[in-house]
Structure 1
Amino acid sequence: MPDEVHAARGIGYRLTQWEEWFGSPKPNHLLIVILSEEKVVGFAVAKPNSDTDIQAYGEFHACYILPDYRGGTAGPLAMAALATYLHDRKLFPACIWAFRSNPYRRIYPALGCIPKVFRNRLIAGVSLPEIGYLVPDYQPLLNRLEKMRASAAVRQSQLPQRPRRLSRLFG
C-alpha cells in the first residue's frame, strides 16, 4: 500500500471502524479473531456482498494474519470458518477482492476462485488496481482449504508448536 493510503487509514480511522463494528454488529456479519497462546495474531470478516460489480451473495471481506503466522494453519482455518458461515446463511456464491499487488492473492485460483472483475479502487485519492474473484462452490473450497490446512500442519509439526484458536466475536 502506498504511504498516502496508510496515513489515511491509520490508527484513528481503524479505531473508529472497530468501535462501529463492536458497537453495532450488523446482521449476517461475522468477525473472528485468530489467537495463538492468547495473543491476537489476526482477524477475519465475512458479510453479505454489497458490490454490484460482481454477482455474489456473500463476501470474504478480510483475512489479515501477522507475518510470523502466515503460511500455517491459521489462514485455512479462518477461511473455512468464514466459508461455513456464509454457506449456512445461503450467501454463496461469494466473492473475494484482492489488490493486484497483494502477493497472497496467488492462493485464490488454487482454491477454485475465478477472477471476474479487474478495476481500480480509489482509496485516499490513490487508484489501486484490484481483482474481484468469484468463489462459486462451497464444498470444493472447503476440500481445498482442508488440504492446505493439513499440509501446513505437517510443516508446522517440524517446528516448535504454535497452538491456534479462533474466537467468534459476533455473528
Structure 2
Amino acid sequence: MRIREASVEDASAIARVAVDTWKTAYRGIIDDNYLNSLSYEEREKGWRQYPFHECYVYVAEDNTQNIIGFAAAGPERESNPMYQGELYAIYINQDYQSKGVGSALFLSILKKLDNTGINSLVLWALSASPYRKFYEKHGGKPVQSKLLEMEGFAYQITAYGWPDIKVANVGGIK
C-alpha cells in the first residue's frame, strides 16, 4: 500500500471509492433510494471541481496502483473557535477496511495539518454509523450533535474533536 497526495487526475477513482463506500457503509442508515441513485459520473464531476489547491486530499493505492481509499481535510468550515482543521471525508473500500489503510490516511492528514500550522481537528459523522469507533480508537471525543437534513430526510450527526492533533492515537505525528 502507498499513500500519496491526490490531484484532480484522481477524480474518477476517488468518485468510485466514494460511491462504493457510501453504498456499503450507509446501507440501513441513509435512505436506500438515495444510495441507489448515487452515480460515479456525478461524484466525479464534483471531484473534478474540488479545490485541491485549498484543501488536502490523500489517496491510498494498493500494490497495483488502484486507489482503494481517500481522505480529505482542510480548514474548519463552521467557524468553531475550538478547531482549526476539519476532516471532510475518509473512505476505504470495504475489502481494505480494518487493515491499517484508514489509519495511514488519517496520519497523513494529521501530518499535513501539523505542517501547515493547524493543530486541532474536528469531523462530522453519522451518529448511527458503526464506523464512529474508528474515530474513538484514534482519540477523537464526541463534542457535539445536530440534525443534518439531506434529500428530504434528517439524520443525526456527531462531531468528533481533537483539541491537539499531536496526541491523536495514531502513533504520534512524525
Determine if the TM-score, normalized by the shorter chain, exceeds 0.5. yes
Determine if the alignment matches structure 1 residue 49 to structure 2 residue 76.
yes
Aligned residues: 142
Written as runs of structure 1 = structure 2, the 5 A alignment for 1:126-165 is 126-141=153-168, 144-146=169-171
Amino acid at match of 2:75: P
- Provide the C-alpha distance between the structure 1 equivalents of 2:91 and 2:107, rounded to a whole number of angstroms: 14
Which of 105, 124, 138 is 1:78 aligned to?
105
Is the contact between residue 31 and residue 46 of structure 1 (CA under 8 Å) also seen in structure 2?
A: yes
- Provide the C-alpha distance between the structure 2 equivalents of 1:117 and 1:72, rounded to a whole number of angstroms: 29
Larger mean Cα displacement after TM superposition, 50-59 or 68-77: 50-59
Which of 53, 59, 62 is 1:33 aligned to?
59
Written as runs of structure 1 = structure 2, the 5 A alignment for 1:57-72 is 57-72=84-99
Amino acid at match of 2:47: W
Identify if the C-alpha distance between structure 1 residues 101 and 133 changes in structure 2 by more than 3 Å, giving closer, same or farther.
Answer: same
Q: Secondary structure at the match of 2:170?
A: helix
Higher relative contact order (CA 8 A, sep 6+): 1
- Provide the C-alpha distance between the structure 1 equivalents of 2:95 and 2:126, rounded to a whole number of angstroms: 21
Amino acid at match of 1:42: G
| Structure 2 residue aligned with 1:6 | 35
Amino acid at match of 1:145: V
Identify if the C-alpha distance between structure 1 residues 52 and 122 changes in structure 2 by more than 3 Å, giving closer, same or farther.
Answer: farther
Amino acid at match of 1:45: A
- Provide the C-alpha distance between the structure 1 equivalents of 2:33 and 2:151, rounded to a whole number of angstroms: 7
- Report deviation, 1:50: 0.9
- Report deviation, 1:91: 1.9
Larger mean Cα displacement after TM superposition, 89-98 or 57-66: 89-98
Aligned CA-pair RMSD = 2.0
Is the contact between residue 54 and residue 117 of structure 1 (CA under 8 Å) also seen in structure 2?
A: no
- Provide the C-alpha distance between the structure 2 equivalents of 1:71 and 1:86, rounded to a whole number of angstroms: 24
Is the contact between residue 119 and residue 166 of structure 2 (CA under 8 Å) also seen in structure 1?
A: no
Q: Give unpaired runs (5+ residues) of structure 2.
A: 1-29
Identify if the C-alpha distance between structure 1 residues 110 and 7 changes in structure 2 by more than 3 Å, giving closer, same or farther.
Answer: same
- Report deviation, 1:53: 5.5
TM-score by length of 2: 0.73
TM-score by length of 1: 0.75
- Report deviation, 1:54: 6.9
